[in-house]
Amino acid sequence: MNDWAWLGFDSTPVQLKKAERLFGQGAKVQRMHILVNGRVKLIRHPFDGEDVVLHVATAGEMIAEASFFSEVYHCSAIADLPSEIQCIDRNEALEKMLSDTRFSRNVMHLFAQQIRDLRGLHELRNIRSAQSRILTYLATQADSSGKIIVNMSLRDMAYKLGLAHETLYRELRKLETSGQLERPASGEIILRETLA
């Protein structure tokens, strides 16, 4: 999907099986990671209480970008699917950032992109109604023809949207019944125009 040539990787990517760990909370930050393929969950382990899913990284994302300037990771990274990850030494990356124009710009782009996505999600959560939250989200994901390829389970989508998965199922069904969307195949959703 993305072209990572600018990263100047010569090494082969790390391969992780499902449930394998890329790094653990508290570990020293020594590398920069780009998720080329697969899915990686970032988990925080609080002193008390149960684990919290901080984020689910999908293909093309930089993993734990926020930790890049920290000494140690504040969360663990665990493969949620078989994944392929490009690594680059932290110091090497920092150096490259100063010497290689394209590199630093691209990294910044990744950061900015991430911020915009997060703000979008935040904005989304301010929508109280489950139905319009879902519609708004789908609208942002759809291409010009209204088609959406869902590359995650509906459960994960529900989590991302901050809804109980049952609610997501129900609302999707309602929207389907009312003709506002179609689901020709699992993992595929088509939005129908409903201009007010």
Partner DNA sequence: CGAGTCGTTGAACGGAATCAATCGTCGTGG
Partner DNA sequence: CCACGACGATTGATTCCGTTCAACGACTCG
Q: Which residues are at the interface with a second copy (CB under 8 A)?
A: 44, 48, 52-55, 65-69, 74, 97-98, 101, 104-105, 107-109, 111-116, 118-119, 121-123, 125-126, 159, 162, 196
Please report how close the Cβ of residue 116 comes to a second copy at its closest, in angstroms: 4
Q: Which residues contact 195 (CB under 8 A, 6 or more apart)?
A: none
Please report how close the Cβ of residue 17 comes to a second copy at its closest, in angstroms: 26
| 73: number of Cβ within 10 Å | 22
Lookup: tokens for 49: 């209480």
| 184: number of Cβ within 10 Å | 9
CB nearer to DNA: pick between 90 and 183: 183
Distance CA 176, CA 169 (A): 10
- Residues from 13 through 72 that contact DNA (CB under 7 A): none
What is the distance of C-alpha 190 from the center of its chain?
21
CB nearer to a second copy: pick between 112 and 149: 112
- Residues from 132 through 191 that contact DNA (CB under 7 A): 153-155, 162-167, 169-173, 183, 186
Q: What's at 14, amino acid-wise?
A: V
CB nearer to a second copy: pick between 14 and 124: 124
